[in-house]
Amino acid sequence: MDLRFSPADEQYRLKFRAWLEANLPSAEVPADPDAAFAYQRVWQRKLYDGGWVGIHWPKAYGGQGATLVQQAIYAQETARANAPQPANILGIMIVGPTLIAHGTEAQKKRFIPKILNADEIWCQGFSEPNSGSDLASLQTRAVLDGDEFVVNGQKIWTSLGQYADWCILLVRTDTDAPKHRGITYLLVDMHSPGITVRPLKQITGHAEFNETFFDNVRVPRENVVGDINEGWRIAMTTLTYERGISSLATQVRIKQHLTAMIEYARKTRSNGKFLAQDPVLRQALAEAYIRVEMMLLNLYRGITKRLRGQPPGPEASLDKLYWSELDKWLQELGMSMQGPFSQLMHDSPHAIPGDWQYSFLWSRAGTIYSGTSEIQKNIVGERVLGLPKG
Ligand SMILES: Cc1cc2nc3c(=O)[nH]c(=O)nc-3n(C[C@H](O)[C@H](O)[C@H](O)COP(=O)(O)OP(=O)(O)OC[C@H]3O[C@@H](n4cnc5c(N)ncnc54)[C@H](O)[C@@H]3O)c2cc1C
């Protein structure tokens, strides 16, 4: 494992850090979700004008052709600066790279520029009420009628569906073929007649994702990515990008949270003593510190392996399992440190500032999206430990 960054990479870090310092919005992200989304859109436009969106995309498609290490630096610096997330996060992370790999020239020309500048927002219509972990069992049907598909069915957990202009949609086009072989990957205009988007309110009080219903929605045949019934292969590309390098940003964010917790323990008294004097809590915070550093080293090990030309392997599952379970544990520790105050939501006038309640509730999501913890354990068991299939 190589822990050093080259002088050229350090220069890249300084350049991006300076750009962020000069351009970060001075106003806080608004509390209202719609206003927050508009704010993220403005921020993405600014990143775009500076050449800092989709840096891992090839230059020919508006990216920087950034190396793996530059992507790692980008992730670390955005988290360190607490930069807002760009509005079109799914477009940048998964849709653009999938289209670059598998789209037709016409599709690339039509869609790619508007992903980068946030003119068109994208969502991902993969999961269904009965198809999540077992995604290939999906039931949303598409039947070819002349030059158009007619789509009927339901998707669920569609993040950003309420803002999206376009959707990458997995549909069943052959009901007789084995389940992985009868799926097609479509690009669907979310403003088409027959689409209904219903928000799902979460335990956090926000509604980031939706149920999406398709009722005789017509989609031009030219909006197929790859070939008809070849959608599973394309979807696998999308999912590979979804489990990309962003864990480095997560590591910085988790570390920032731990630093805030340590600070809180130093200055908060309970039963006449500072929390930081409690030996049990001290042990827990020390363990947290070690686990957060281990996360970074594991991520660097994965990057080093790829820099040596080895393909990404099942360690992506180990990383995902590790950080999502670590975050959940750490957030629970944060709640226990606040004692009875942990019961107050952040908008209560008596709540301890810092929004820990929100991040505690949200940490559940990390163990579900992009493959649940149980699914990651299955992958690690089968592909790393060589255990028999469950
Ligand atoms: C924050 C968030 C955002 C999301 N955004 C999107 C989105 O934009 N678009 C989209 O399409 N989807 C999205 N999803 C959905 C996500 O991909 C699914 O929730 C996930 O794949 C799990 O599927 P499921 O919810 O149907 O659970 P299920 O697959 O029904 O699983 C239920 C439980 O059974 C366990 N389980 C299932 N199979 C096995 C097995 N073989 N072995 C052991 N245990 C098993 C699971 O671990 C889980 O605990 C999002 C989810 C979250 C939490």
Summarised one tens digit per residue, pLDDT across range 58-114 is: 999 999 999 989 999 999 999 999 999 999 999 999 999 999 999 999 999 999 999
> How is residue 147 written in tokens?
């030059």
Task: Tell me, in angstroms, the distance from the centre of ligand 1 to residue 129's CA.
Answer: 10
* Most distant CA pair in the chain, distance: 77
Lowest mean pLDDT of 164-178, 234-248, 258-272, name the range. Answer: 234-248
Q: For ligand 1, say whether the CB of 132 is within 6 Å of any of its atoms.
A: yes
Phi-psi map region of 127: left, alpha, beta (phi>0 left; psi -120 to 50 alpha) = beta
Judged on CB neighbours under 10 Å (0-12, 13-18, 19+), 24 is middle
C-alpha–C-alpha distance, residues 189 and 204, integer Å: 29
Measured in whole angstroms, how far is the alpha carbon of residue 125 from the centre of its chain?
15
Arithmetic mean of pLDDT, 283-295: 97
Question: What digits encode the pLDDT tens for the residues 187-237?
Answer: 999 999 999 999 999 888 888 899 999 999 999 999 999 999 999 999 998
Q: What pLDDT score does 3 carry? A: 80
Instruction: Determine the atom of ligand 1 nearest the C-alpha atom of 374.
Output: 47
Cα-Cα-Cα-Cα dihedral sign, residues 53, 58, 59, 61: negative
Q: What pLDDT score does 244 carry? A: 64
Measured in whole angstroms, how far is the alpha carbon of residue 100 from the centre of its chain?
19
Q: Any idea which residue has 């020239």 for tokens?
A: 105
Mean pLDDT for the chain overall? 93
Q: What pLDDT score does 181 carry? A: 95
Q: For ligand 1, say whether the CB of 202 is within 6 Å of any of its atoms.
A: no
Task: Tell me, in angstroms, the distance from the centre of ligand 1 to residue 375's CA.
Answer: 9
Arithmetic mean of pLDDT, 141-170: 98
pLDDT at 295 over 80: yes
Task: Tell me, in angstroms, the distance from the centre of ligand 1 to residue 130's CA.
Answer: 10
> What letter represents residue 303's amino acid?
I
Determine which residue's CA is closest to atom 17 belonging to ligand 1: 369
Q: For ligand 1, say whether the CB of 161 is within 6 Å of any of its atoms.
A: no
Task: Tell me, in angstroms, the distance from the centre of ligand 1 to residue 369's CA.
Answer: 6
Beta strands in the chain (DSSP E): 122-125, 141-145, 148-156, 166-172, 183-189, 195-200, 209-220, 224-225, 269-270, 273-274
Percent of the chain with pLDDT over 70: 98
C-alpha–C-alpha distance, residues 254 and 361, integer Å: 15
Arithmetic mean of pLDDT, 354-377: 92
Q: For ligand 1, say whether the CB of 211 is within 6 Å of any of its atoms.
A: no
At 97, which helix (H) or strand (E)?
helix 96-102
Mutate to test the pocket of ligand 1, among 95, 368, 378, 382 (most ligand atoms within 8 A of CB): 368
Q: For ligand 1, say whether the CB of 368 is within 6 Å of any of its atoms.
A: yes
C-alpha–C-alpha distance, residues 279 and 265, integer Å: 12
Closest CA relative to residue 263, chosen from 331, 324, 334: 334
Cα-Cα-Cα-Cα dihedral sign, residues 104, 234, 167, 227: positive
User: What residues pair up with 185 in beta bridges, in sequence order?
Assistant: 170, 225
C-alpha–C-alpha distance, residues 174 and 181, integer Å: 8
Determine which residue's CA is closest to atom 37 belonging to ligand 1: 133
Q: For ligand 1, say whether the CB of 159 is within 6 Å of any of its atoms.
A: yes
Q: For ligand 1, say whether the CB of 374 is within 6 Å of any of its atoms.
A: yes
Lowest mean pLDDT of 221-225, 314-318, 368-372, name the range. Answer: 314-318
Q: What pLDDT score does 312 carry? A: 72
Q: Which residues are catalytic?
A: 242
Q: What pLDDT score does 2 carry? A: 67
